[in-house]
């Protein structure tokens, strides 16, 4: 069924269907690893310290953390603390662009239809301010930028190519952009994305098809707060690694109420315990999978 359309998709380098056979991915991170552990919503220095201290006590490695609060909501001193802690621990730091529709004066974003806007940017001035937010973060040492707007991604990539941003700045596309199919992922890769986060409820055949469309790492949630679904997919984590490597397993958010909140030291400790469960399950059910060590050479380590 739909053979003509499926054939044309394949001509474009896309899968013709979701990958129901769940093929094993032969792709890896440059260091040969299958997966990395990423903890999002690390939205305070206190949460970051508690997360890493607890992870060390539990004997697990955190490879990447994401701020989702927005760089414009931190002082320069706080951003420098984030950068220094992550640099000392060899951890990739993504800090999110502050200007976004939900922080703007938009009334539409508060309406039932407003969810379609997500965290995207409204108007040229918000685009300019968002770019300035990135420039400020980069000046303070941030090298990983969490992006919520496809147009902004394109501009930032053009700035990187032109030397207006350092070549080692990395762009991660957020799940808040709402992308969920191979064509969208291929477009994001072409726009300059260095890793892409699909929407949070993608099923395994869908995730496997995304892997067939792009080469960049996929950032896939294994658990989520009630504010965005509340699911916990720990038993699926090993299969996610097998079919979608190289992959960042995003974990820890099931211990908080929602994305984008200010998180506490206790939240950080709880996130580490959830990450430890995910690592344990991957090791138990897919023992051949290799996790990156801290400081892997291709990571956007802060400067």
The pair of three-digit structure tokens given for residue 268, joined into one six-digit string: 């950080």
Distance CA 46, CA 301 (A): 20
Is it the case that residue 266 has pLDDT exceeding 80?
yes
pLDDT digits (tens, 9 = 90+) for 43-78: 999 999 999 999 999 999 999 999 999 999 999 999
Distance CA 51, CA 168 (A): 26
User: Average pLDDT of 9-16?
Assistant: 97
Domain count, the chain: 1
Other Cβ atoms less than 10 A from the Cβ of 112: the count is: 6
Q: Tell me whether residue 259 is in a domain.
A: yes
Least trusted range by pLDDT, from 27-31, 42-46, 71-75, 100-104? 100-104
Is it the case that residue 191 has pLDDT exceeding 70?
yes
| pLDDT of 301 | 62
Q: Tell me whether residue 292 is in a domain.
A: no
Using the 8-state DSSP alphabet, how is residue 291 labeled?
A: B
Least trusted range by pLDDT, from 16-20, 143-147, 204-208, 294-298? 294-298
Q: Tell me whether residue 21 is in a domain.
A: yes
Q: Tell me whether residue 6 is in a domain.
A: no
Q: Tell me whether residue 4 is in a domain.
A: no
Q: Tell me whether residue 278 is in a domain.
A: yes
Q: Tell me whether residue 303 is in a domain.
A: no
Distance CA 65, CA 40 (A): 6
| pLDDT of 109 | 76
CA dihedral over 85, 28, 148, 39, signed as positive or negative: negative
| pLDDT of 257 | 86
| pLDDT of 300 | 62
Q: Tell me whether residue 95 is in a domain.
A: yes
> Would you call 278 exposed, middle or buried from its count of C-beta atoms within 10 A (0-12, 13-18, 19+)?
buried
Q: List the alpha helices (DSSP H) in the chain.
A: 3-11, 45-58, 76-89, 123-139, 150-162, 182-191, 204-213, 237-244, 265-285
Is residue 247 a contact partner of residue 241, using CB atoms and an 8 Å limit? yes
User: Average pLDDT of 85-93?
Assistant: 95
Range of the domain at 92: 16-285
Is residue 32 a contact partner of residue 250, using CB atoms and an 8 Å limit? no
Of 64, 68, 72, the closest CA to residue 44 belongs to 68
Is it the case that residue 222 has pLDDT exceeding 70?
yes
Assign residue 177 the CATH number of its domain: 3.20.20.70
């Amino acid at each position: 069924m739909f053979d003509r359309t499926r054939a044309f998709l394949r001509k474009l380098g896309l899968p013709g269907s979701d990958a129901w056979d769940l093929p094993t991915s032969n792709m890896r991170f440059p260091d040969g690893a299958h997966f990395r552990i990423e903890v999002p919503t690390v939205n305070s220095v206190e949460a970051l310290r508690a997360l890493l201290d607890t992870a060390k006590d539990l004997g697990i490695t955190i490879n990447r953390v994401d701020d989702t609060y927005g760089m414009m909501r931190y002082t320069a001193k706080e951003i420098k603390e984030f950068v220094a802690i992550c640099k000392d621990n060899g951890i990739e730091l993504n800090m999110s662009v502050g200007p976004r529709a939900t922080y703007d004066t938009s009334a539409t974003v508060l309406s039932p239809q407003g969810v379609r806007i997500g965290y995207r940017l409204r108007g040229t001035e918000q685009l300019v301010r968002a770019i300035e937010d990135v420039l400020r973060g980069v000046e303070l040492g941030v090298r990983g930028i969490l992006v919520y707007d496809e147009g902004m991604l394109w501009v930032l990539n053009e700035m990187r190519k032109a030397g207006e941003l350092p070549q080692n700045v990395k762009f991660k596309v957020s799940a808040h952009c709402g992308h969920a199919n191979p064509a969208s992922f291929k477009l994001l890769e072409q726009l300059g994305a260095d890793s892409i986060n699909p929407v949070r409820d993608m099923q395994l055949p869908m995730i496997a098809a995304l892997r067939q469309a792009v080469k960049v790492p996929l950032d896939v949630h294994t658990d989520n707060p009630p504010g965005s679904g509340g699911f916990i997919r720990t038993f699926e984590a090993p299969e996610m690694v097998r079919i979608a490597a190289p992959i960042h397993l995003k974990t820890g958010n099931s211990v908080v109420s929602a994305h984008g909140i200010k998180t506490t030291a206790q939240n950080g400790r709880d996130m580490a315990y959830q990450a430890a469960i995910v690592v344990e399950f991957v090791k138990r059910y897919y023992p051949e999978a290799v996790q990156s060590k801290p400081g892997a050479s291709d990571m956007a380590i802060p400067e």
